[in-house]
Amino acid sequence: MDLPRIFTIRESGHRIHNPFTEDKLASLGRALRLPPGTRVLDLASGSGEMLCTWARDLGFTGTGVDISTVFTAQARARATELGVADRVTFVHGDACGHVADEPVDLAACVGATWIGDGVAGTVRLLDRSLRPGGLMLIGEPYWLRTPADRETVEACHAADVSDFLLLPELMGQFGDLGYDVVEMVLADQDSWDRYQAAQWLAMRRWLDGNPGDELAPQVRAELTTGPAQYARHVRDHLGWGVFALMKR
């Protein structure tokens, strides 16, 4: 059980595996106004930057679960580096269906709602771990404007235009599921650029060091077409944000 290797190649230089900068991640943590000792469950926790930095800066505790052996190892190393290994735990496992042993104050899935087959299923999954009155975090893409062609839809890693919603529709969906949106922090163009462009450098350096690897042709194809594809299709069409929800 592991994440396909292409993902760890693309994002080998990332500590945050979504279009957030360190400043935006810190802003989100502060905006939640939660006390030290807040217990967190972070599903699809990646390299653990959110949980580790919030443990250091805000006094949170908690558990991250991720399917990637590489990212889980990086998360554990980051916890040690920041001196919070006694407050956070990272588990290598499938976040799909994972429920905390005891209810938590904050349940999060930031950028991986595929673990619940979409937003609605992920909200239901997180709710199973959340104490009454707790906060939920969902990170999700949304359309800045509706794509007019199939090429743009596919460039944004969607199978169909209906895979993502416009921002007002996404926020309305949370309401339809029975939740109030109580905070949000959105990626901006610069944070999107940092996320995407760092992948190109990581892929180029990987190619230079691994020219004979079986994945080299795929990585080369992505690096050849990816930058122009991002500039032409993704940059003006796809947004991303983290939304804090409370059950009504």
Task: Please give the average per-residue pLDDT across 117-133, as a whole number.
Answer: 98
Average pLDDT over residues 227-238: 96
pLDDT (average), residues 213-218:
98
Model confidence at 1, pLDDT cuts 50, 70, 90, reads confident
Q: Which domains does the chain have, with CATH numbers?
A: 5-247 (3.40.50.150)
Mean per-residue pLDDT, 3-11:
95
Percent of the chain exceeding pLDDT 70 equals 100
C-alpha distance from residue 217 to each of 207, 213, 214, 220, 224 (Å): 9, 8, 7, 5, 10
Model-level pTM?
0.96
Helix (H/G/I), strand (E/B), else coil: 206: helix
Between CA 116 and CA 14 the distance in angstroms is: 24
User: What are 159-184's pLDDT values in tens digits?
Assistant: 999 999 999 999 999 999 999 999 99
Q: For residue range 130-154, what is the model confidence (pLDDT) as tens digits?
A: 999 999 999 999 999 999 999 999 9
Gap between the Cα atoms of 42 and 75, Å rounded: 12
Are residues 147 and 224 in contact, defined by beta-carbon separation less than 8 angstroms?
no
pLDDT tens-digit map of 55-113: 999 999 999 999 999 999 999 999 999 999 999 999 999 999 999 999 999 999 999 99
Element (H, E) at 242: strand 238-247
The pLDDT value given to residue 51: 98
Mean pLDDT, residues 205-229 = 97
pLDDT score at 190: 96
* CB-based contacts of 80-83 (< 8 A; 24+ apart in sequence): 82/52, 82/53, 82/55, 82/56, 83/56
Residue 226 has pLDDT above 90, yes or no: yes
Q: Quick one: pLDDT at residue 179?
A: 98
- Letter for the amino acid at 34? L
Q: What gap in Å lies between CA 241 and CA 248, rounded to an integer?
A: 21
Give how far Cα 29 sits from Cα of 37, 123, 137, 144, 196, Å.
13, 20, 11, 25, 23
Whole-angstrom Cα distance, residue 121 to residue 201?
35
